[in-house]
Amino acid sequence: MPFAFRSFSFIASLMLICSISMRPASQCRGDENNSPATTGVAANQASFENNDFAITTGIANTIRLGKWSPVTITPKQSQKITQVAIQTRDGADVPVIYQTQQASPSADGSVDALARFGRKCKSFQITIVTADGKTAEIAVPLNNTQTLLSVKPLILAIENDSQIPQAINHEKTQLLANETQPTAKQLADLSTLPNSWLAYDAVHTIFLTASDTNLLNQLTDQQLTAIEEWVRQGGRLIVSASPANAADGFAADQPLARFAPGPIKTKLNFNNSSRLENFAGSRKQLIKTGEPPIDIVGFETHQAKVWVADENRNPLVTQHALGLGNIVFVAFDLKHPKILAWQSYPELIRVLSAGKNNSDRDGQQSISSLGSGVGHLGFTDIVGQLFAPMEQFSKVQFVPFTAIAILIGLYILCIGPLDYFLLRKLFGRMELTWITFPLFSLLFCGLAFGISQWSRPHALQANQLEIIDIDASDSSCRGSVWTNFYSPTGDALDVQLPETNALDLKLQQRLTSWHGLPGNGLGGMNGGSAATVSVPSYTHPISSASVTSQLKSFPIPVSSSRAIFSNWQAELPTKIRSNLTFRKKTDEIVGSLKNPLNCELTNCRLYHGNWAYVLEAPLGADDVIDIATETNSKRIQSILNRKRVDAEDSNRSYATRWELSETNVGRIAEMMMFYEMAGGSNYTGLSHGYQGKTDLSDLLTSQRAILIGEVKGQISCLDATAANPKAASPEYDHVTTFVRIVLPVNAERSPR
């Protein structure tokens, strides 16, 4: 037999056999961009201008990878913009075109668009169509726009000076990595402040100082409503009162009243600053003996949690819930000359921006014991750990290399020694190799093809995690849905959330978008963009007015998976019945509550303060339970940290170590939902900055309780339509659904 034919057949057969070892993987690139993000410029300066348009990108000239960012296009001439299309790269470095559906331009003709950036890049493409039919294609450079990593919190200070950003950006600590430290930006030009709450997606915390009256008077009702809705969706607002005008600024008919913890009573003062100094962790005295006191605002706390008070128990710093977010209210002016001159002013601002110190929570473990393993895994954020289990599908079998090696070895034995033995010893005719060799090749090629078909499903597969949050105060609902699709043949999907779900809720706001890996691993968003590689783009229509988006022709390569993140808003048709009261003497809550949903909740726990009340049985639809008689109380940390009793000493217990190799979706979701309560980065060794709004730990420090339970079944089912009409609808493999109901807790009245 000719040597060339045998060699070609041998190599082709080996290639087919080795092809069965391919594992499903996301289509992504982690190529580094040689041009790092530049430092931001003044917030009132346009990012880019040409003869026809001025284009401002980001909030305070800052964008954050993986987050929605505003893009404002203002025409310089008398022309009306009718269409805007923005092309960027998504988290897998695939080109995506955001088609903005704008209701009407602003008074100056400007159009507000939204886009997400999945990779660091030097510029992005924008296409503008005007009413006269002209089309302008502009490459917008990002030279004057700072690009933050997905896990890096952005703090926005609405103020005339830059005292707060300077305090936060001063002497950054080296905890975990610099990428997790916050970056603060000043915004003094309120004309650039967005009117849509979604445009604040990149912002972690907003500082609002009431003493800047000239600045606050520029705030429009649309902007205040957008900030309020952003807080309700899980944002964090820090409001500094001004005792000089508090009675007017926070009156019931004033715009800032929506952010006050209670009615303003009077103006007070304090001259003993020791408790505030302890709160800031400072050894520097604020008010020295004989110096005049500092004025503060007196108010009724109502549902507020007092962080620090003066010697007369007048609150200085409080926190109260607003929807799923929280507001920190500072009763004194952060711009007071004595406060600004205090040497520990930066420490005070950083404590306020970081939240109440949780270092006293038990069940923590050393970061150093975990941090060494984070780097090679390619992620430093808890959401990054969710990617691995979400890409595991039960019908996608992994063929081990040992099996492939054995198959290759058998093939070599068959076409070599076995073929020679059969032809020489048994048949005695060596020329029959022209028949036996192709037969052996076809046999093993067929075997390889069969194993390849066996190891992969024939239909589109999907894994899903959904967390549904319900605020009992106004019956509002928020759904967060993580979905991973696996395609055995390669598809282009049209994906969107349906108008209703299994809870019979009418979804009012439906956002569906790509989901990126926060990290430096393969496909991580921290890597640069390989923009020189030609890859077909897909479209991403987005309406800022109705806060709705979908994916069109979303590509999934052959034998690969892609991640999608969706969230929705809705309202329960009925109010939630609960009657919970906190008894301060016994540090417990009593009362009853009713399941408002049309489905059964299993593995239910009621969290409040540091205690968890574990329900003994599932909570059926419309069931009512009594907390005192139908629950067992445990420490929350004992549940979150999986505490176990020491085998040698029953009086001692220890937390189960958090494993970076954890692949249980429910366990990872539990840590995402109560990250700070479990110990935060001290326990997991990971940050929670990318999608930190899923953590409702802060609400447990307010007058709120959270009922959490699991739902057996699927609540939200994405409409995924393949461009190929013969492609089957997706088969859902693993579905995990959690429901959290935030309930108000009344304080027990003291006997007269």
pLDDT at 397: 74
Provide the β-strand partners of residue 737.
466
Q: Is the pLDDT of residue 344 over 50?
A: yes
pLDDT at 16: 44
Residue type at 474? D
pLDDT at 21: 42
When comparing pLDDT for 439 and 222, which is higher?
222
* pLDDT confidence bin for 265, thresholds 50/70/90: confident
Q: Is the pLDDT of residue 59 over 80?
A: yes
The CA distance from 309 to 299, in Å, is 12
Angle at 619 between CA 616 and CA 625, to 5 degrees: 75
* pLDDT confidence bin for 614, thresholds 50/70/90: very high
Mean pLDDT of 245-264: 81
The CA distance from 577 to 680, in Å, is 32
Q: From residue 228, how far is each of 233, 251, 257, 317 by CA, in Å?
A: 9, 17, 11, 20
* pLDDT confidence bin for 210, thresholds 50/70/90: confident
In residues, how long is the chain?
Answer: 752
Residue type at 329? F
Ramachandran angles phi, psi of 314, nearest 5°: -85, 125
Coil, helix or strand for 329? Answer: strand
Coil, helix or strand for 88? Answer: strand
Contact 622/600 with Cβ under 8 angstroms?
A: no
pLDDT, tens only, 23-48: 433 333 333 333 333 333 334 455 78
Contact 226/199 with Cβ under 8 angstroms?
A: yes
Ramachandran angles phi, psi of 542, nearest 5°: -140, 130
Ramachandran angles phi, psi of 652, nearest 5°: -115, 150
Contact 720/463 with Cβ under 8 angstroms?
A: no
Q: Is the pLDDT of residue 490 over 90?
A: no
pLDDT at 749: 64
Mean pLDDT of 316-334: 93
Coil, helix or strand for 410? Answer: helix
The CA distance from 453 to 488, in Å, is 10
pLDDT at 752: 46
CB neighbours of residue 542 within 10 Å: 24
pLDDT at 453: 67
Ramachandran angles phi, psi of 379, nearest 5°: -145, 150
Q: Is the pLDDT of residue 77 over 70?
A: yes
Q: Phi-psi region for residue 166, left (φ > 0), alpha (ψ -120 to 50) or beta?
A: alpha
**Which of 205-214, 340-349, 431-440, 473-482 is the least confident region?**
431-440
pLDDT, tens only, 456-468: 777 889 999 999 9
pLDDT at 455: 66
Q: From residue 533, how far is each of 95, 350, 537, 643 by CA, in Å?
A: 10, 43, 12, 50
Topology given in CATH for the domain delimited by 151-357 = Rossmann fold (3.40.50)
pLDDT at 289: 84
* pLDDT confidence bin for 369, thresholds 50/70/90: very low
pLDDT at 176: 40
Angle at 96 between CA 94 and CA 101, to 5 degrees: 170
Contact 557/113 with Cβ under 8 angstroms?
A: no
The CA distance from 679 to 640, in Å, is 9
Q: Is the pLDDT of residue 394 over 70?
A: yes
pLDDT at 43: 40
**Which of 275-284, 403-412, 583-592 is the least confident region?**
403-412
* pLDDT confidence bin for 651, thresholds 50/70/90: low
pLDDT, tens only, 685-704: 999 999 999 999 999 877 89
Mean pLDDT of 400-429: 80
**Look-up of token digits 């895994």:** 377
Cα-trace Rg, the chain: 30
Share of the chain above pLDDT 90, in %: 52
Q: Is the pLDDT of residue 414 over 50?
A: yes
When comparing pLDDT for 706 and 653, which is higher?
706
Q: Is the pLDDT of residue 606 over 80?
A: yes
CA 620 to chain centre: 30
The CA distance from 310 to 609, in Å, is 23
Q: Is the pLDDT of residue 430 over 50?
A: yes
Largest alpha-carbon pair distance within the chain? 115
Q: Give the chain's end-to-end CA distance (angstroms, integer).
A: 107
The CA distance from 19 to 21, in Å, is 5
Domain boundaries, the chain: 3-26+399-454, 151-357
CA 469 to chain centre: 14
CB neighbours of residue 735 within 10 Å: 19
**Look-up of token digits 């059926």:** 620
Contact 692/233 with Cβ under 8 angstroms?
A: no
pLDDT at 116: 96
**Look-up of token digits 């170590």:** 657
The CA distance from 369 to 352, in Å, is 29
When comparing pLDDT for 581 and 422, which is higher?
581
Q: Is the pLDDT of residue 644 over 50?
A: yes
Pair of tokens at residue 311: 């010697």
Number of H helices, E strands in the chain: 18, 40
User: For residues 371, 375, 378 and 382, what is the CA-based torsion angle, rounded to 10 degrees?
Assistant: 10
* pLDDT confidence bin for 649, thresholds 50/70/90: low
Q: Is the pLDDT of residue 334 over 70?
A: yes
Of 633, 750, 636, residue with least CA distance to 701: 636
Mean pLDDT of 179-207: 91
**Which of 93-102, 256-265, 645-654 is the least confident region?**
645-654
Of 455, 564, 547, 516, residue with least CA distance to 690: 516
pLDDT at 647: 63
For the chain, the average pLDDT equals: 84
pLDDT at 437: 82
Of 744, 701, 705, residue with least CA distance to 357: 701
Mean pLDDT of 342-370: 66
The CA distance from 607 to 144, in Å, is 46
Contact 695/597 with Cβ under 8 angstroms?
A: no
Strand bridging mode 146-148 / 62-64? parallel
Mean pLDDT of 376-395: 88
Pair of tokens at residue 448: 């390889």
Q: Is the pLDDT of residue 119 over 60?
A: yes
Angle at 430 between CA 428 and CA 433, to 5 degrees: 130
Alpha helices in 101-212 (DSSP H): 163-169
Q: Which long-range contacts (CB under 8 A, 24 or more apart) does 44-49 make?
A: 44/188, 44/189, 44/191, 44/192, 45/144, 46/74, 47/140, 47/142, 47/144, 47/145, 48/138, 48/140, 48/141, 48/144
Pair of tokens at residue 67: 């987050």
pLDDT at 267: 86
Residue type at 751? P
Q: Is the pLDDT of residue 125 over 60?
A: yes
Q: Is the pLDDT of residue 389 over 70?
A: yes
Pair of tokens at residue 476: 């509002």
* pLDDT confidence bin for 358, thresholds 50/70/90: very low
Contact 98/126 with Cβ under 8 angstroms?
A: no
Q: Is the pLDDT of residue 660 over 60?
A: yes
pLDDT at 370: 43
